A = this chain, B = another copy of it.
Amino acid sequence: MAHSGERSWGVYVTDVVTLKDVAAAAGVHVSTASRALNPETRSVVNVNTAGRVLEVAERLGYRPHPLARGLRTNRTLTVGMVVPDLMNPLFPPIYAGADAVLGDLGYSVLVSSDDDDSAKARSVIVALLERRVDGLILASAHCDFVIPTRQRKVPTVLVNRSSASNEFPAIVGDDHAGIALVVRHLISLGHTDIAHVAGSQDLSTGLARRQAFVESMNRDGLDANPELTVEAGAFRTEEGRAACDHLLDSGEDFTAIVAANDLIALGCYDALAHRGISVPGDVSVTGYNDMTFVDRVAPPLTTVAVPYQEMGGAAARQLLDLLAGEVGVGPPYPPMRLAPELVVRESTAPPPAS
């Protein structure tokens, strides 16, 4: 086994050194070596032999074979993560946050994209389960119908979305707080006729932000005019532009737009610019998410920064709790909401004097 070594970094690196090699070199049985190496069971072996095994293992550069170990223990030290699209800049931070905390504990994260497609979501989840991941982090929207199946056995947490039933722990941004921030900001600038370009109402974020918008308006004493809320079919620039066009065609008066996310806000920029309406001179616009570069568009966008990386980290910690068998509370799990932050730039200003 351990032969044909090659000198490097000052240690003798062999092709692959197994527990058997360590045991032989230490003059003990492999089971003893195993116990000595495992901190959990180390106490059961004589302190001298344990030390010897440890030292030999170190010297030979022994690394346990993850497949062999996993086969026996039925754990892979791998967690699966499903996102709609890794190329969407929202998700890399979530991944990075999760990977950072999981990596420290020896877990690896397997990411898969489902391209916002239910069928693909199902297939990637199945693929992940077949790989025997220890847990699942779902940032994807389309997966409700898979959840009730096999996976009921696999610890799962949701991130950036929640399920209506609260069947799984979920880490989400506090959309109510975030929308309240921009609404207050606009009100404090003097706006009263504020429009909302909502995102897809099929997605929990789209829904929540819309609700948050009317509640914020009402709470602050301005009745939200239903005519001033339009829905963009998706969280994309083109849809935002189209929705904003509808709004403008409606003839209703408004001096500010709260967009459901940054892309929709940029769509509003386009629609307004096309009609010669200036931002923020004539109407103020706010976004949501603080995507990269929205500080460099013209005008720099006032928006809400969501702590995606922290969300990923929190989701990972939550999953680790589940993995550790914290049978504590069990469902239903109230979603954990992380506080967002208002980022004021140049797309908002007091309304024009009429």
A interface residues (Cβ-Cβ under 8 A, vs B): 8-9, 13, 15, 63, 65-68, 70-71, 76, 86-87, 89, 92-93, 95-96, 99, 108-113, 127, 130-132, 148-150, 153, 266, 291-294, 296-298
Contacts and interface: CB of A to CB of B under 8 A. Distances in A.
A134 to B, nearest CB: 12
A109 B250 CA distance: 49
Contacts of A66: 130-132
B86 A92 contact: yes
A77 to B, nearest CB: 9
A269 to B, nearest CB: 8
A93 B291 CA distance: 17
Contacts of A293: 291-294, 296-297
Contacts of A89: 87, 89, 292
B296 A130 contact: no
Contacts of A68: 67, 71
A187 B63 CA distance: 59
A127 B293 CA distance: 34
A150 B66 CA distance: 18
Contacts of A148: 8
B87 A92 contact: yes
24 contacts: A8-B148, A9-B149, A15-B153, A63-B130, A66-B130, A66-B132, A67-B68, A67-B70, A68-B71, A86-B92, A86-B96, A87-B96, A89-B292, A99-B112, A109-B110, A110-B110, A266-B296, A291-B293, A292-B292, A293-B293, A296-B296, A296-B297, A297-B297, A298-B298
Given A9-B149, A67-B67, A292-B292, 5 more contacts: A67-B71, A293-B297, A296-B296, A297-B298, A298-B298
Contacts of A131: 66, 108
A266 B111 CA distance: 32
A93 B131 CA distance: 24
A282 B107 CA distance: 54
Nearest to A14: B150
Nearest to A73: B67
B296 A67 contact: no
Given A13-B150, A86-B95, A86-B96, A110 B113 contact: no
A172 B2 CA distance: 38
Enumerate the 3 nearest inter-chain pairs by beta-carbon distance, A residue then B residue, closest first.
Answer: A293-B293, A298-B298, A67-B71
